Each structure stands twice: as structure tokens, then as C-alpha cells.
Amino acid sequence: MSLKSRGELPSRSVISQKWTLLLCVGCFCAGMFFTNRMWAVPESKGITRTTAVEAEKLKLVSEGCDPKTLQQKFVKRDSKDIIGEVHKTHHAIQTLDKTISNLEMELAAARAAQESMVNGSPISEDLQKTESSGRKRYLMVVGINTAFSSRKRRDSVRATWMPQGEKRKKLEEEKGIIIRFVIGHSATSGGILDRAIEAEDKKHGDFLRLEHVEGYLELSAKTKIYFATAVALWDAEFYIKVDDDVHVNIATLGETLVRHRKKPRVYIGCMKSGPVLAQKGVRYHEPEYWKFGEAGNKYFRHATGQLYAISKDLARYISINQHVLHKYANEDVSLGSWFIGLDAEHIDDRRLCCGTPPDCEWKAQAGNACVASFDWSCSGICRSSERIKEVHRRCGEGENALWNAVF
């Protein structure tokens, strides 16, 4: 028995070693299997985390879309989004600008009323209407620059191109056109000159009185005050200054201006660039000639002073900044200097400076009626109080043109 027992020991040992080997191989295979499974999990999670944009790209590519076409599609979509945002921003800016402009207008009107009370002057009838009934929109305000000594000129304008009485009120209500003679006060407040203007205004009711002391060398200051006062009184699209010795066709002026009504900042007139006169004692002498460079230089382009028009935004600009706007010797040069650094469009329209007959007559017969007519040699119509009726007869557009005009 001892020999048999010894013979069985080796067989049990062999069997145990085989099972051990198989067990090791099995464990190894199981380990490899589970290892591969664990490495595959992150890959599947990565696919599930694909963004919506990437998923759309993969879908389009799988459907056969060209990658280049795909890129163009996404660029176009991004461009549309950007353009949409730009339009929204631009609209918001325009709305804000309009709000600011309205506030500035209200502020200008309040300042005008306050200055009138501080200076002890009664508030004008036009300003009282503005304060009490709100602001009505007008097409244009025409300010006719005049002086104390120009009564005959004013009467000649009233007898020709400026409607009177009920017609003037109808012009304001139906056509949105305000026309006023513009004048300040004499150096002696309440003197005979002022009383004469007050009596004339009581008769015709066509004056705009300014808080300004009249004087030939003060025309630049008068121009600033006129625009500031007009903006405070009337909410118009355009503001015009014209001299009282110039003939004007009102309907043609309105038709000319409405062509530019969509432009925010326009400065319309007959643009010129005259010489800077340094010699003392001559007419139009410029004391600050040295600012314009060497002797013999010319001014920058600006509208001649007989007639010019500016849009509402430019008139507001003058109103708000009138205390810091520099005045040169010549009024038309001063106005041009206030706009030279602004983003304003200068419009040179030669119909605003036609000559007297036969020039304006020929143009009227050709169907190209002039806006304004005068003589360059006189900076207005020579002997206007005597000749303006003849100019009106030969070059005027006719009364029906004004009432039939649509602005």
C-alpha cells in the first residue's frame, strides 16, 4: 500500500498544475475583455456630447454636402445674424437721437422764454402759442433780414412775393410756411425807432423781434440769435435767411428744399469763395485776415448772404452752441465757419442767386424758375423798393403756383 500511495501523489500534482494554468489563462482573457469595454465607454460618451452645430454638419456631410458649400452656408447664416444686430443697433441709435433732439428743442424754447423774462421783455405772441398749444410741424421758416431804415423795402416785399393778412395765415396753416421780417432793438431801448417798428408790427403782424441791438457790424450776432429764436418758436424742417432787397419765389423755394428733406444736415445756397480783404477801410474788410493764411488767400466755401437755407439739425446746433460760435466780420462767412468742421452737406444751387431781368425772365420762360433774384453789383436788387415790382412781374412764379404746390 505504501507503494500505491506513492504512485498516486504525482498524478494529483499534475492535475492541479493544469487547472491552475487554465485558470490563469481565463483570468487573463477576462481581464482583456473588461479592459476593452472600459476603454470603449469614453468614446461613446464623446459622441453623445457632440454639439448641435457639429451634429448638423455631420448630418449634411453624410447626406453628400460639399464641405466648402457647408462652410459658405454657415458664414451666410452668421452674416445675417450680424446684419440683423447692426440694423437693430442703428434703429436704437436713431430713436435715441430723435429723443435727444426733442429734448434739445424743448430746452431751447425754455431758454428763450427765460431770457425774455430775465431781460424784462414780454414773451412774444408766437412763443406764447408754442408754450400753450404744443409744437406744430412746419416745412420752413423764412426770416427776412431788415433794418430800421428799410420801411420802403418791407412794403415793396409785402406788395410782391410775401402774402399778407389772411393769406399769410393760410400759408402757415395749409403749407407750413412761416414768413417774418427779422429785426432787433435800437441802442436806446423804447426809443423812436423801436416805437415805429411796434406800430408797423401792430398793423401787419409780420415781425420777429430779437433780443439783439441792431448794427451793421453785428450781423453775425444777429444771424445766430435769429436761428436760435426761430428754432425755439417753430419746429420746422428748414430755416431760411433772406435779405429784404431780394425777390423770392416761395413755391419754387419749397419745391427745392423738399428734395433734400431726408438729409439730416444740409446747408443750401450759392456757394462762393471770395478773397479775404486785409486792407482797412474797404468794404468787407476782415480784421482776422491772418487766420486764413497768407495775403491773397480766399475764404472757405460758404453760401452767399443774400439767401441761404439750413436744415433743422444745423439750426439746433447753432441754438445750442451760440455762445461759443465765433463771429467774423462778414455774416455769411461766419455761418460757413460754423459748419466747416461738421458732417454737413454743402449744396450749391445756382437758382438761389439768379440775376434780375432778363436773366431770371429767360429762365422762367424756359421752365426753370429761379428761387431768388438780385443784382450782384448791389448785393441785392439795385433800388429794390422801386424795381422789385418789375422783377416780380417778369420773373415771379404767379400766385397760383404757391397755392397749388404740394410739399
pLDDT per position as a tens digit, 53-91: 555 555 545 555 555 554 665 555 555 667 667 667 766
Q: Is 31 exposed, middle or buried (0-12, 13-18, 19+ CB in 10 A)?
A: exposed
Domain presence at residue 120: no
Interacting residues of 303 by C-beta distance below 8 A, sequence separation 6+: 267, 268, 269, 270, 271, 272, 332, 335, 336, 346
Domain presence at residue 71: no
* pLDDT (tens digit per residue) in 21-44: 677 667 666 666 655 555 444 444
Average pLDDT on 161-189 reads: 95
Number of domains composing the chain: 1
Instruction: Please say if the pLDDT value at position 346 is more than 90.
Output: yes
**Please, what sign has the CA dihedral across residues 323, 328, 331, 334?**
negative
Domain presence at residue 79: no
The pLDDT of residue 180 is 98
* pLDDT (tens digit per residue) in 85-128: 766 776 666 666 656 655 655 565 555 555 544 544 444 455 44
Domain presence at residue 152: yes
Please report which confidence band the pLDDT of residue 132 belongs to, taking 50, 70 and 90 as the band edges. very low
The pLDDT of residue 16 is 65
Distance CA 51, CA 211 (A): 71
Domain presence at residue 86: no
* CATH number, domain containing residue 210: 3.90.550
**Please, what sign has the CA dihedral across residues 239, 242, 244, 246?**
negative
Please report which confidence band the pLDDT of residue 269 belongs to, taking 50, 70 and 90 as the band edges. very high
| Host domain of residue 153 | 138-270+304-404
Domain presence at residue 143: yes
Q: Of 130-144, 221-235, 251-265, 310-324, give the lowest mean pLDDT range.
A: 130-144
Domain presence at residue 323: yes
Q: How many other CB atoms sit within 10 Å of the CB of residue 270?
A: 20
Q: Of 37-51, 86-100, 337-351, 364-378, give the lowest mean pLDDT range.
A: 37-51
Domain presence at residue 47: no
